[in-house]
Amino acid sequence: MRTPRTTTPGPGAPAGRPATPPRGRRAHAGRPADERPGPETGASAGRRPRHGSLRPRTVRAKIISLLMVPVVSLLALWGFATVTTAQDVARLREVRRLDTTVRGPVTEAVRALQDERTAALRQLADPGTGHAATLRERAGRTDAALKALSIGGGHTVADAGLLPVGTAARLTAFLDEVKQVRTVRTRLLSPSRNGSGAPPATGTGGPDTAAGRPAGTETPSAYTQYGDAVTAALGVCGSLTGIQESETGSRTRVLLELTRSGEMLAREESLLASAAPKGTLDAEGLRAFAGAVAARRAFADTAGADLPGPGRQAWRELTGRDTYARLEAAEDTVLAVPAGRRAKAVPVASWERDAAAVRTQLRA
């Protein structure tokens, strides 16, 4: 056993007490020892953050740093959702504006032009005050529908610079075709055509004194001019599908094909109306009728198969009705009659009634 180390007390020191406290003990009196940290080395110096370090030093700073990542991520998601929603709202407002200013008036103009075309061909086939009055009334409906596209001063919405470039160009082309239609209308409503001595507009008769051309060539010209105008109008509606979302645009294109099918049916109606007075279709008229029938059925079959759920069911109900069956049977009957022969097997009144019903259901 090691004996404790002792020192000899100095002179004047109390006996029995050491001159200095034992090593390792602190004095209980006097100035506190200097406890400032000295220079550190080794591992302890590496663990202590240096001045300017991004490592949090307090518990509060550590909690804040842990919360920053989800908070910043949430703010980024909110910002993205806000921008996306704003873009969708702006696109929806643009689509609604174009529907109001362009699509609606053009659709009404198409319907009016289709009805006016039938009246025009009747006036060509059988000139008279009665048919002229019908043509004048339907022409007024066409002008009223086109008036919605005007912005005053002889300008149209195509001149306002508020439409997509493609839509504005097609709308201008459509309005140019309408000008040609008005020229045909004016010629058909001339006084020389409304008297009892007006020359016939179909067949191979003498020259037409009002138009200065053979009468047999005027019916195809009028039919073609009205058809070109309607086709240009449907082109305007087709250009508007490009600014819609992919799903909505696809559905709109299907409905546009149904609209084209309705246009082909309207062409058939106008051709039969022009043949009603004599009950005949010449070779050119029969070819036009056959082309309209083929196009109508192609558009209808393609669009009907691509319609979404409720629309497809409505299409099946339409094609399953007796009206639609009678319409197709009448088309086949007309196609089976040779050109130049009388086509009394298809009464025009029943045909027009069935065709009007089918066109209404197609629009619905």
CB 177, CB 229: distance < 8 Å: yes
User: What residues make up the domain containing 286?
Assistant: 260-364
pLDDT at 196: 42
pLDDT at 197: 41
Q: Has residue 332 been placed in a domain?
A: yes
CB 211, CB 198: distance < 8 Å: no
pLDDT at 302: 85
CB 148, CB 105: distance < 8 Å: yes
Based on the domain organization, do 148 and 217 belong to the same domain?
Answer: yes
Based on the domain organization, do 283 and 227 belong to the same domain?
Answer: no
Q: Has residue 70 been placed in a domain?
A: no
Ranges in the chain, pLDDT < 70: 1-54, 56, 87-91, 94-95, 193-218, 242-250, 339-346
Based on the domain organization, do 223 and 346 belong to the same domain?
Answer: no
Q: Has residue 72 been placed in a domain?
A: no
The SS3 assignment for 25 reads coil
Q: Has residue 128 been placed in a domain?
A: yes
pLDDT at 199: 40
Based on the domain organization, do 178 and 116 belong to the same domain?
Answer: yes
- State pLDDT tens for residues 38-86: 555 555 445 555 555 667 678 887 787 777 888 888 888 888 888 777 7
pLDDT at 163: 79
Whole-angstrom distance, CA of residue 65 vs CA of residue 12: 66
Only one residue has tokens 């062409």, namely 267
Helical segments of 35-126, H only = 43-47, 59-98, 104-125
CB 131, CB 196: distance < 8 Å: no
Based on the domain organization, do 159 and 222 belong to the same domain?
Answer: yes
Tokens standing for 308?
């979404």
Report field, pTM of the whole predicted structure over 0.85 = no
- State pLDDT tens for residues 20-34: 555 555 555 555 555
Burial of 243 (0-12, 13-18, 19+ CB in 10 A): middle
Give the total number of structural domains in the chain: 2
How confident is the prediction for the chain on average, in pLDDT? 76
Q: Has residue 1 been placed in a domain?
A: no
pLDDT at 24: 54
